């Protein structure tokens, strides 16, 4: 059974810092891994999708990597801004139509 | 671009009442799903559908029913609401899991059961 873990649960950083969010999964047989952002009281917004044949994806200041052999994905945020403050979630798609989510990392970027 | 639309956004029910949460998508997605999000427990899959007429159970299906009569709509029915069903419910859709697989979410429906 796939399990997804995100550590730390919360993180505070000063503005401008580069940071890495971690996502671990137990079953390496995944099709895709997706990163989301959730603002308080809102739905989830897709940030990046990494397919199993890919090792990373980039969008603006965001870069997500996938290492299936070690069961890890990381989301790198460059030059963080207060507007990046949100909860970041990852989800693994093992091809069983059941996306499994981590519990998220709550990020606060201090001005 | 409407994307995934959920109604209502907020609902208060009394124990034992029934209701339907509506979900519609205009992206011609085959896959649709319902999650509930509770503090400290993340998102848990309730039911999902891979096409019209096809539904299956997720991790926490008890107390909920679904049907998929059209590609666009995937309503979630609470048969007899219980306080344990107080949660935020999200509908999500995807073109084709296992291929492109990108999951799109609605804004959520916040349900309180008294």
Per-residue confidence at B41, pLDDT binned at 50, 70, 90?
Answer: confident
CA distance, residue B40 to nearest chain A CA (Å) = 7
* Gap from B16 CA to chain A (nearest CA, Å): 26
Residues B110, B79 contacting (CB under 8 angstroms):
no
pLDDT in tens, A20-31: 999 999 988 888
Please say whether the beta carbons of B18 and B79 come within 8 A.
Answer: yes
Q: Is the pLDDT of residue B55 over 80?
A: yes
Neighbouring CB atoms inside 10 A of B32's CB total 26
Contacts of B101 in chain A (CB under 8 A): 31-32, 34, 49, 51, 93
Instruction: Flag if A32 and B101 touch (Cβ within 8 Å).
Output: yes
Residues of B in contact with A104 (CB under 8 A): 42
Within 8 A of A50 by CB-CB distance, chain B residues are none
Q: Rg (Cα) of chain A, in Å, rounded?
A: 13
Nearest CA-CA partner of A32 in A51, A56, A54, A13: A51
Distance CA B71, CA B49 (A): 10
């Amino acid at each position: 059974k796939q399990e997804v873990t995100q550590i730390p649960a919360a993180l505070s950083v000063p503005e401008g810092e580069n940071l890495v969010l971690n996502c671990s999964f137990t079953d390496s047989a995944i099709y895709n891994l997706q990163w989301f952002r959730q603002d308080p009281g809102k739905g989830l917004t897709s940030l990046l999708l990494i397919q199993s044949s890919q090792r990373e994806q980039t969008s603006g200041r965001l870069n997500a990597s996938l290492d299936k052999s070690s069961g890890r994905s990381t989301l790198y945020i460059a030059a963080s801004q207060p507007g990046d403050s949100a909860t970041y979630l990852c989800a693994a798609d093992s091809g069983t139509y059941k996306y499994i989510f981590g519990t998220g990392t709550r990020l606060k970027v201090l001005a | 671009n409407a994307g995934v639309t959920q109604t209502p956004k907020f609902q208060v029910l009394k124990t034992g009442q029934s209701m339907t949460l509506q979900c519609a998508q205009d992206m011609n997605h085959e896959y649709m799903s319902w999650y509930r999000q509770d503090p400290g427990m993340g998102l848990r899959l309730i039911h999902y559908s891979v096409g019209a007429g096809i539904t299956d159970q997720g991790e926490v299906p008890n107390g909920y029913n679904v049907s998929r009569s059209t590609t666009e709509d995937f309503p979630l029915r609470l048969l007899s609401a219980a306080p344990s069903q107080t949660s935020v419910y999200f509908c999500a859709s995807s073109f084709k899991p296992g291929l492109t697989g990108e999951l799109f979410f609605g804004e959520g429906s916040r349900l309180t059961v008294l």
